[in-house]
Chains A and B, each alone.
Chain A
Amino acid sequence: MSSQSASGSGKVAKPSSSKLSTAKTEIEFRVALIVLAIVALIPAIVSNPYWLGVLIVSMYFAILAGAWNLLAGYTGQFSLAPATFAMIGAYSTGLLGTYFGVPPLLGILAAILVAGLIGLVLGRIVLRLKGPYLALTTLSFAEILRLIASNSINITRGDLGLGVPGLFSSRIGWYYLFLGVLAVLLIALYALLRSKAGLFLQAIRDDEVAAARSGVDVVFWKTAAFALSAAASGFAGALYAHFAELVTPELGLIGQTGLIVSMTVIGGIGTLVGPIVGAFLVYVLSEWLRDVGGYQLVVFALLVIIFARFFRDGLWGIARFIMRRGRSA
């Protein structure tokens, strides 16, 4: 792009060399596992069902933030529709259950497939779009689907929402189900990043033209990133639907996408551990801040701006900086 060369004062943006090293991924993976281990131990101390519920929703957001991170952080495709795929997943199982009597487990499987397929199609459509064009297209896609969900009152009952059967009633059960899914998806993402696919995706993020010239099948991998991210989001959305026993168009609100983006940016975009830590921090803090005046969204929006402006690597970047300082001192 001509504006690229004209933008700075002649300084070439230095790609951080650590981005591709697997050593970086190794550390992040281990820290993420430790975080999940701590989360697994929390029910031993906290038995209050309200706070367990807050943590369950945090894990829902951790899955969504991780899925969006695969697309935005590792592949460089800034979609503004992550919450929409959760909504698609939730409605897939909800509608199948309501109209065809499909049992929840099959419904969740179908939700993964449906969300993944729609993600595949969307990824294919927006293949050539970049930056602001991609953001606007995915944003309109998100708004159109939400409008359809809330206006097709005959089918979806609109904003009233669709009742969905629960899987089981035990809070602890849900807690460990969400934790298990989060852990499996984390390991899958780690495996993906360690394989050649991870390198391909990051090569596309860093320089699409150069990646294509080096033999990366850009079309395939970009579409695959969209489909995988959408499938994981749909999975989370379907699980959440059965947990909340309700599906509403609110799942696809722009504000939800805002929350997912905030979590990823505050935690550290393009890192394994960032979105998980970000999701827990933002959601738990926001529940806590709700009691002290309801300033949570003001605080997080401000944090997003500050992190994007000054701490590009998020909390994880700050933590690494402090660790390095401590080691060299």
Chain B
Amino acid sequence: MNMALAVDLAVNGLITGLFYALMAIGLSLIFGILRIVNFAHGEFYMVGAYAYTLIALAVGLPVWISLPVAFLVGAAFGWTTERLLMRPLYAGYTSWGLMRDEYAVIVTFGLSLFLINLVDKVIGPYAYRGPTLVDVSRITIGPILISGHRLTAAIIAIVVIAITAALMKWSFWGKQIRAVAQNRLGASLAGIDTARASSIVFMLSGGLAAFAGALLSPVINASPDVGAFPAIKSYIIVVLGGMGSVPGSIIASLALGVIESFGAVYLSYDYRDAFGLGLLMLFLLFRPQGLFGEKGREV
């Protein structure tokens, strides 16, 4: 194998993995705190891609303002979703009490359909290409060939992921969130506002996914169903890394990025999505706790 090509593939795979991680961390946190899979996660990404692109192009704000605004829009979407739809999962509503998991699947699945089709009707089915962050088209570092935007976006992604991981590990709110994820009743007995913890998780999750959408919008143009692809990737990552584990999902994201970057060159291109999903099924069946997660305990 050509060494220079291998280095190039590895670095580009790692960068792709960084964007996957932005998606997967939020999904994983939501699973950790509510034990549900958010089937509308890709639509947070889509909302971010549109927010960034439209604010920069239609409103005409500079990209460095559009980017944080996209995060805020995603966070607002996350908060609204949690406030309007997720409360029955834990706030003492009884009508879905027996079918809690099913409620979560239906409602997030419905939200996904709703947002995709609403955007399709309101903004239109055409793809919008987001503006790049920097105007350098190609940078060559040794054997690696990379576009200026991709490099900038990767650096921003590293910073955001590091801040998120640090917040989850050391901040007061991060500790509260982890406590609720471990034991909701115990956390609430210790005086933690579990509803607020869920709200924060959804805001963070929506914001991070929207941020990923904004960063990638110059590469993958914003369109109504643009979220489907990153969402499926993040399901695979979250299962591989162990649902609910932040470090696990970061490692699994980077690994998937590298595997895919090599796989697209050395394996079949047409079936690349099928392989990832096959892996997902195998893991769910034989190692549902993932590579790093704790084995679920039933009482």
Selected interface stretch from A132-140, A177-185, A213-221: A132-140
Which residues of B are found within 8 Å of A5, using beta-carbon distances? 185, 299
Judged by a CB distance under 8 angstroms, whether A255 is at the interface is yes
Selected interface stretch from A8-16, A36-44, A49-57: A8-16
Contact A143 B277 (CB under 8 A): yes
Which residues of A are found within 8 Å of B96, using beta-carbon distances? 308, 312
Which residues of A are found within 8 Å of B88, using beta-carbon distances? 309
Chain B residue, CB-CB nearest to A305: B110
Which residues of A are found within 8 Å of B102, using beta-carbon distances? 72, 76, 78, 131
Q: Which label, helix, strand, loop or mixed, suits the secondary structure of the B interface?
A: helix
- The CA-CA distance from A174 to B85 in the complex, in Å, is 42
| Given A13-B94, A136-B284, A255-B113; A305-B183 close (CB under 8 Å) | no
A302 smallest CB distance to B (angstroms)? 6
| Given A6-B183, A140-B280, A144-B274; A308-B298 close (CB under 8 Å) | no
- Indicate which residue in B89, B277, B285, B288 contacts A125 across the interface (CB closer than 8 Å): B285
Interface centre among B36, B90, B94, B105, by most chain A C-beta atoms within 10 angstroms, is B105
Which residues of A from 53 to 79 have beta carbons under 8 Å from B?
Answer: 72, 76, 78
Which residues of B from 169 to 186 have beta carbons under 8 Å from A?
Answer: 183-186
Contact A11 B92 (CB under 8 A): yes
- The CA-CA distance from A313 to B194 in the complex, in Å, is 29
Judged by a CB distance under 8 angstroms, whether A163 is at the interface is no
Contact A3 B184 (CB under 8 A): yes
Contact B94 A132 (CB under 8 A): no
Which residues of A are found within 8 Å of B101, using beta-carbon distances? 78, 130-132, 135
Contact A206 B98 (CB under 8 A): yes
Interface membership of chain B positions 30-70, coded 1 if the CB is closer than 8 angstroms to chain A and 0 otherwise: 01000111010000000000000000000000000000000
- The CA-CA distance from A312 to B281 in the complex, in Å, is 30
Judged by a CB distance under 8 angstroms, whether B97 is at the interface is yes
Interface membership of chain B positions 99-125, coded 1 if the CB is closer than 8 angstroms to chain A and 0 otherwise: 111111111011101100110010000
Chain A residue, CB-CB nearest to B90: A7
Judged by a CB distance under 8 angstroms, whether A304 is at the interface is yes
Residues of A near any B CB (own CB < 8 A): 1-15, 72, 76, 78, 80, 125-126, 129-133, 135-137, 139-141, 143-144, 147-148, 151, 205-206, 255, 258, 261-262, 265, 293-295, 297-298, 300-302, 304-305, 308-309, 312
Residues of B near any A CB (own CB < 8 A): 31, 35-37, 39, 84-85, 88-92, 94-107, 109-111, 113-114, 117-118, 121, 183-186, 232, 235, 239, 243, 270-271, 273-274, 277-278, 280-281, 284-285, 288, 297-299
